[in-house]
Amino acid sequence: MAMPSAEHRQTVLRAGHEAEAVHSSLTADALAEKVVKDLDRDSFGSEWWRTPTARRLVDFATIGPLAVALAGISGILQEGEDPMWVVGGVTAADALTIAREWLDADVEAAEVGAWLRAGCWSPTAARCLVDVGVRADRLLDAHGRPAYWVEGRHGEDVPVASAVADGDMSPTDAARLVTERPHQDHPNSH
């Protein structure tokens, strides 16, 4: 699969970070209450456990980390990211394939969304960054946007994680940059 250009990914990253998912600020308890309301609505107040939603809850619990990785990908897409950049297609099957790739690269399921927010489209690059001591949350600012930027191969600003994923920066150089300087907001991030 050919990846979109770094410039396209940067534009998509900025656009996606400008859109905010409604559920992103909810606590686990608030999300659980929302699901319970949906279950009650779907069942008209009786036998909620027989609804398709309840069956999906069981399915998601059964697949464990894969569900967590898929949820991270879904969250990124709900924020407005380009599905072609995130999963290389628009179907849930495309997302499942990519979620498996992230897990196969030994990336923590709960970190998949953060890696994508940081601009890292490559599970292998993310794993290499982890191996040199850089975690996804370290590459994000307080608003969940990329915190470290470098000049890309075509002179454009790109997130450090994208530069590593594109092969324009080594994971070791990225780790050095992250530890040597505080994060900086991208000039166009506000």
Domain that holds residue 56: 6-16+27-180
pLDDT tens-place string over residues 96-126? 999 999 999 999 999 999 999 999 999 999 9
Kind plus residue range of the DSSP H or E element containing 84: helix 83-86
Rg (CA), the chain: 18
Q: How many residues does the chain have?
A: 190
State the chain's mean pLDDT as an integer.
84
Domain assignment present for 97 = yes
Whether 185 is in a domain gets the answer no
- Number of folded domains in the chain? 1
Is residue 12 over pLDDT 60? no
Q: Calculate ∠ Cα 105-103-166, nearest 5°.
A: 45
Q: Residue 184: its pLDDT value, please? A: 60
Cα–Cα distance for residue pair 166/147, rounded to 1 Å: 18
Does a structural domain hold residue 168?
yes
How far are the Cα atoms of 24, 26, 34, 35 from residue 30, in angstroms, in the given order?
Answer: 11, 6, 6, 9
In a domain, 122, yes or no: yes
Q: Is there a domain that residue 76 lies in?
A: yes
Q: Which DSSP helix (H) or strand (E) runs through 149? A: strand 149-151
Would 73 be classed as within a structural domain?
yes
> Is residue 188 included in any domain, yes or no?
no
Bridge-based pairing of strands 157-159 and 149-151 is antiparallel
Q: Which residues pair with 158 in a beta bridge?
A: 150
**How far from 96 is each of 19, 66, 90, 145, CA to CA, in Å?**
23, 8, 11, 24
Q: How far apart are CA 21 and CA 34, in angstroms?
A: 15
- Stated pTM of the model: 0.75
Both ends of the chain: CA-CA distance in Å? 32
189 is a domain residue:
no
Model pLDDT for residues 52-106, shown as the tens digit of each residue:
989 988 988 888 999 999 999 999 999 999 999 899 999 999 999 999 999 999 9
Stronger pLDDT, 166 or 23, i.e. the higher one: 166
